[in-house]
Amino acid sequence: MAWERLPGRGCGALHRCLLGAALLLGLRLCTELRRAGAQPPARSGLPGPDPRPPEPLLPPAPAQRRGASRRQVTYVRSGRRAPPGGGGSGTQEPGCCPPRGRPRRKGPRWHIDLQPWAGPARSLDEEALRFLRYISTIQVVFQAQIACDHVSTDSLATDSSPSKKPWSVCLDDRFGLGHQIRNKQCRLYSLGLGSDDTHFEVSMANDGCEVHRFDPTVKSAHILESERFWYHRLSVDWRDSHPAVAAQKPYSNTRKLRTILNEFGHHKIDVLKADLESAEWKVLENLILEDVFEQIGQLIFEIHLHWPGFEVSGSDSSVVRFWYSLLKELELQDFRLFHSYKDLSKPQLFLKKDIFNASSCYTLSWVNTRWK
Sorted by where each starts, the structural domains of the chain and their CATH numbers stand as 124-149+165-368 (3.40.50)
Q: Decide: residue 364, CB within 10 A, 0-12 exposed, 13-18 middle, 19+ buried.
A: buried
Residue 125, classified by CB atoms within 10 Å of its CB into exposed (0-12), middle (13-18) or buried (19+), is middle
Strands (E), the chain: 151-152, 169-170, 186-191, 209-214, 222-226, 229-232, 235-236, 254-255, 269-274, 296-304, 335-342, 361-368
Which of the given ranges, 55-69, 84-98, 206-220, has the highest pLDDT on average?
206-220
Please give the residue that has the higher pLDDT: either 47 or 24: 24
CA 282 to the chain's CA centroid:
16
- Average confidence (pLDDT) over 136-151: 66
Contact indicator for 162, 154 with CB cutoff of 8 Å? yes
Residue-wise pLDDT for 275-302, tens only, equals 998 999 999 999 999 999 999 999 999 9
What average pLDDT score do residues 122-151 get? 80
SS3 150: coil
Give the start-end residues of each E strand in 77-201. 151-152, 169-170, 186-191
DSSP state letter for 234:
-
The tens digit of pLDDT for each residue in 322-338 reads 999 999 999 999 999 99
Quote the pLDDT of residue 31: 72
CA distance 231 to 249: 18
Q: What pLDDT is recorded for position 99?
A: 42
Of 184, 174, 118, the residue nearest 150 (C-alpha) = 174
Res. 197 pLDDT band, cuts 50 70 90: confident
191-201 mean pLDDT: 81
Q: Give per-residue pLDDT as tens, 10-28.
A: 556 666 767 777 777 777 7
- CA torsion through residues 206, 212, 214, 215, sign: positive
pLDDT digits (tens, 9 = 90+) for 65-75: 444 434 332 22
Q: How confident is the model at residue 88 (pLDDT cuts 50, 70, 90)?
A: very low
In this prediction, residue 371 carries a pLDDT of 87
The helix/strand/coil state of 288 is helix
> Given pLDDT bands bounded at 50, 70 and 90, which one contains residue 217?
confident
- Higher pLDDT: 203 or 240? It is 203
